[in-house]
Amino acid sequence: MNLDDAVAAARRAYADKRPVSRDWTDRARTVQPGGNTRSVLDFAPFPFRVATAEGREFHDVDGHGYIDLLGNYTAGLLGHNPEPVLDAVREALDNGWVLGSVHVNEVRFAELLVGRFEAMQQVRFTNSGTEANLMALAVATHHTGRRKVVVFANGYHGGVLTFAGGSNPVNVPHDWVICRYNDLADVTGVFEDHGDDIAAILVEPMQGSGGCIAGTPPFLSGLRDLCDAFGSLLVFDEVMTSRFSRSGAQGLLGIRPDLTTLGKYLAGGFTFGAFGGRAEVMGHFDPAAGGVLGHAGTFNNNVLSMAAGVATLTEVLTDEVLRETHERGDRLRAAMNAAFEGNGLPMHVSGVGSLLGVHGTTGPITSAADLADSDDRLKELFFFHCLDAGFYLARRGFIALSIEITDADIEAFLEVVRRFDPRSS
């Protein structure tokens, strides 16, 4: 059987086992374009629908159970219902949740974040990482009085800040300059030509949605040097990579950005985003300091996310827990690559720590150019193979381990990986 036939057969087998999910998708498509309201969750022939979730696993409406290796695209680092976060949210609910006022937990949460990230002297909250990046760029262009923003091919900073495959019709209209990731010479050339007009560099220390492609230390430190030389601001998008350590990727790298954006897991899985950095820059939002920028958002300091964030950082995410999860991911990546190589498959797993990207091509992978020959059919077959064995990862090959995943889960998953052989389909 060739790969096209194997994919078609895998889709049919998947659909035959999930008639209830199929019916719900048909129903959804009459009232939601595409049958969903979050495009990344869709895949052919249709996504299964979750009925219940607890800890590291969930069950769909057809009764199938899965170990969750996706962790809601990194937002689910704590698992599905960590008890300290549940307790904090229940207590917050008892005291009212539509306050329309400032309250104490937002201060506590802000203090905890500022204490973790040395470069973050002050912080403001948003509802998502997308919003955090939008606000960071707004203050960067205001602070510098410049318009150009350097970003990177294959980068993703939210639904309206995505740079895979060229121009995106929903992107916000900044004066973008798109450079090659991990290519410092390319960025240097741009600064030599336009340095006086560049407000900021917006960069992920590891391109997450772009395939878990890690930025090299010389590349990332070189960006810091360029910003210092030309008076631009370096913005680290750590929405995903902040899980790498107590102080995120910047702490491991020893690089101090001017602004940092956060999101995903830090509020225990509740709606959350944040941006912060040097007090001089963040002061543009402070009227008492002469700041003229406003920052609206009805739910920026919502009671549930603030309470959940305090509980997450005081009761759940210890330095040791983060370290263990990071190391578990590194071990899994090495073992998966050994399995693919041992089976003679042109596949590779990239990433850092607990974030992994499975690709249908051999490594190493340092930029989007290295994925040009990737065979998407291999990733799709691997996805269905894992689902059938009770392990859920993203259709695109993304894995984001939660702190609930055990070494026993990893060993069981590796047995599934070792059995994968699309040539026998």
At residue 206, does pLDDT exceed 70? Answer: yes
Contact status, residue 162 vs residue 156, Cβ threshold 8 Å: yes
Provide the β-strand partners of residue 156.
162
For residue 78, the model assigns a pLDDT of 98
- Tell me the HSE value of 50 on the side-chain side, using a 13 A CA sphere: 12
Region 358-368 average pLDDT? 96
For residue 403, the model assigns a pLDDT of 98
Region 20-28 average pLDDT? 98
Region 51-68 average pLDDT? 97
Tens-digit pLDDT profile for residues 81-130: 999 999 999 999 999 999 999 999 999 999 999 999 999 999 999 999 99
At residue 254, does pLDDT exceed 80? Answer: yes
Beta strands across the sheet bearing 273-277 = 122-126, 273-277, 259-263, 233-237, 198-203, 148-152, 175-179
Write out the two tokens for 281. Answer: 């820059």
For residue 165, the model assigns a pLDDT of 79
Q: Is 13 helix (H, G, I), strand (E, B) or coil?
A: helix
Tens-digit pLDDT profile for residues 159-185: 999 999 777 899 999 999 999 999 999
Contact status, residue 57 vs residue 67, Cβ threshold 8 Å: yes
For residue 425, the model assigns a pLDDT of 64
Could you give the percent of the chain with pLDDT greater than 70? 100
Tens-digit pLDDT profile for residues 345-357: 999 999 999 999 9
Contact status, residue 69 vs residue 382, Cβ threshold 8 Å: no
Q: Is 203 helix (H, G, I), strand (E, B) or coil?
A: strand
- Tell me the HSE value of 81 on the side-chain side, using a 13 A CA sphere: 7
Phi, then psi, of 380 in degrees rounded to 5 = -65, -40
At residue 365, does pLDDT exceed 70? Answer: yes
Write out the two tokens for 317. Answer: 């995410």
At residue 394, does pLDDT exceed 90? Answer: yes
As a whole number of angstroms, the distance between CA 7 and CA 16 comes to 14
At residue 423, does pLDDT exceed 90? Answer: no
User: What string of DSSP letters covers 225-294?
Assistant: HHHHHHTPEEEEE-TTGGGGSTTHHHHHHT---SEEEEEGGGGTTSS-EEEEE-HHHHGGG-GGGT----
Listed in sequence order, the residues at least 6 apart from 361 whose beta carbon sits closer than 8 Å to its beta carbon are 346, 347, 348, 370, 371, 373, 374, 375
Listed in sequence order, the residues at least 6 apart from 182 whose beta carbon sits closer than 8 Å to its beta carbon are 213, 215, 216, 219, 366, 367
Tens-digit pLDDT profile for residues 302-346: 999 999 999 999 999 999 999 999 999 999 999 999 999 999 999
As a whole number of angstroms, the distance between CA 188 and CA 165 comes to 23
Could you give the percent of the chain with pLDDT greater than 90? 98
Q: Is 170 helix (H, G, I), strand (E, B) or coil?
A: coil
Structural domains of the chain, ranges and CATH numbers in brackets: 3-77+319-424 (3.90.1150.10), 83-316 (3.40.640.10)
Tens-digit pLDDT profile for residues 398-414: 999 999 999 999 999 99
